[in-house]
Every structure is written in structure tokens, then in C-alpha cells.
Structure 1
Amino acid sequence: MPTIALGNHYEEFVRKHLEAGGYKNASEVVRAGLQLLEDHEAARERWLNEEIPARYDDLVNRPGLGIPAETVRARFETKRRNDAAKAK
């Protein structure tokens, strides 16, 4: 296996986790991160291959479930304005 360059940010991240005592060595920290990435990708694939087609079928069979695009745009615009106001 090749040596991996993590960069300063992730080297510090690994060091903090080792000092906290949650892991025995850097390899355990990296494996935990890779496991999370693997789980995330599996969940994304499930979403794309199972959940989205099922929701599409629901909308085809029951069009009343849908929300008009104008309504969605208006909701996003309202949220954007509220978030901008809170940020000030």
C-alpha cells in the first residue's frame, strides 16, 4: 500500500483523535473515515436507485402529491431572504 499524504489539516485532525484516546493509531482513524465514506456512498446509491424511482412512481400515480415549481421557487427565495436577514 502506498504512503498517503494527508496534509496539515488532516494530520492535525488525526493527532487530536489519537490524543483523545479514541484510536490506537493513525490507521484506525483513517479506516474509520473510509468506513464513513463507504457508508455514505452506499446510502447515496440506495437513494438514487431505490428512493428516487419510488418517489417518481408515486408522483406519476398521484400527481396531486407534487408541488408546483413556482411554489418551490418562492419558498427558496423566502428562505434565502430570511437567512440573509439573520446573517446581518
Structure 2
Amino acid sequence: MAHPVRQPREKRPTHSGDGHLLTNIVAFAVMFILFALSIYSLTFFEKTNVWPFAVCLTLFFLAFWIPQTILGRSDTGPRMAKGDRKA
């Protein structure tokens, strides 16, 4: 036969979080709890007491900062700046 034999395709590339369902669910639950607690802390806010607002800002900051820096791909920034596109 004149047709070349097809080689089996390689496994498709894995994407961020692929195959880590339980880890993703736990991380989402923890961050959502931090976010919900930040909103709940505002129920204790009074104009004479600023601590609930400070707690709210801290928890809100952590709920968004942890996934974007610690759990995210922030460690690949220096490599990507050099032109290495492999994750």
C-alpha cells in the first residue's frame, strides 16, 4: 500500500488542574470560606470599632491572593520572560 501507516496519537496535553478534582474542590472551598467570613465580619462593624473592617480586608485579600500567587502559576513568570514557554 502506498499510504503510510498512521502512528497512534500521543496523549493530549494536560492543562492546569487537569486530574486534580479533589484538590481543586478543597482549595475552592477554603477560599470561598475565607471570602464568606470576610463578608460576615462586616456584621460586627461599628463606627467606633475598626477591627471588623480590618479583618474583612485581610480575609478578602487572602481569599484572592492565595489562589493567584501560591496556588497559581506565579512561579513560571521568570522562565516565561526568558522565552521558555513550557509550563
Scaled by the length of structure 2, the TM-score of the pair is 0.29
Q: Which has the higher helix share?
A: 1
